[in-house]
Homo-oligomer: A and B are copies of this chain.
Amino acid sequence: MNGPDTSRARILEAAAYMLKTRGLARTKLSDIAERAGMLAPSLYHHFRSKNQLVEEVMVEGIYRNTRHIMQRVEVLGPDAPSLARLTAAITAHIDFLLTGDDFASAVGQVFHDLPDETRHRVLAAYSTFDNYWRDLIVGAQRSGACRSSMDPTVMRKFLIAMLDSSSGWFRPGKLSAQEIARQACELFLHGFAT
């Protein structure tokens, strides 16, 4: 049942959890190790450095999230209206962040503290994600469903910031992930005013 890297995977999950919860500077290797059931030096059997470990978490988080969103959009079929595609993407993103993918949440939390060199490589992985959103937004404008008077880059930045923030303030037991996703769609597409 276990592949050759069970403990490697456990370490990555522990790291993702700690990074999402406490950020980069406040997570020590010993915290990650403890959560993975071992001591800090053992991590070096699986990863060359803290940076490499963090980088893998980031890239994995971006990859998982992108793939999840794409699936939930593409299942609608190639002829789905662009607003339906946008709605599916927003809902998928919130869902994924709030329903326990620590990797995806860690990305937003840690990205801006990454050392320059690491950040460049992570940025490359991020571009797939970013481009997908750009296409959804530009597509919605081209189809006439969204306003061309709005700058698509600004819309994307605002939207992603808004969605990403949710993993920082979401508390289970209050509004559900579904309800938050619904409000995000409403707000982004139709606004708060009556």
Contacts and interface: CB of A to CB of B under 8 A. Distances in A.
Given A145-B193, A154-B175, A23 B113 contact: yes
A192 B186 contact: no
Nearest to A146: B192
Identify whether the interface residues of A are mostly helix, strand, loop, or mixed: helix
A43 B187 CA distance: 46
Nearest to A152: B192
A192 B194 CA distance: 14
B169 A157 contact: yes
Contact of A187 (B25, B169, B184, B188): B188
Interface residues of A, number: 44
Nearest to A165: B161
A191 B183 contact: no
Nearest to A180: B154
Given A26-B113, A113-B113, 18 more contacts: A145-B194, A146-B193, A146-B194, A151-B179, A154-B180, A155-B183, A155-B187, A157-B169, A158-B162, A158-B187, A161-B162, A161-B164, A162-B162, A187-B191, A188-B192, A189-B193, A190-B190, A190-B191
Interface of A: 23-26, 83, 109, 112-113, 115, 137, 140, 144-147, 149-151, 154-155, 157-159, 161-162, 164-166, 168-169, 175, 179-180, 183-184, 186-194
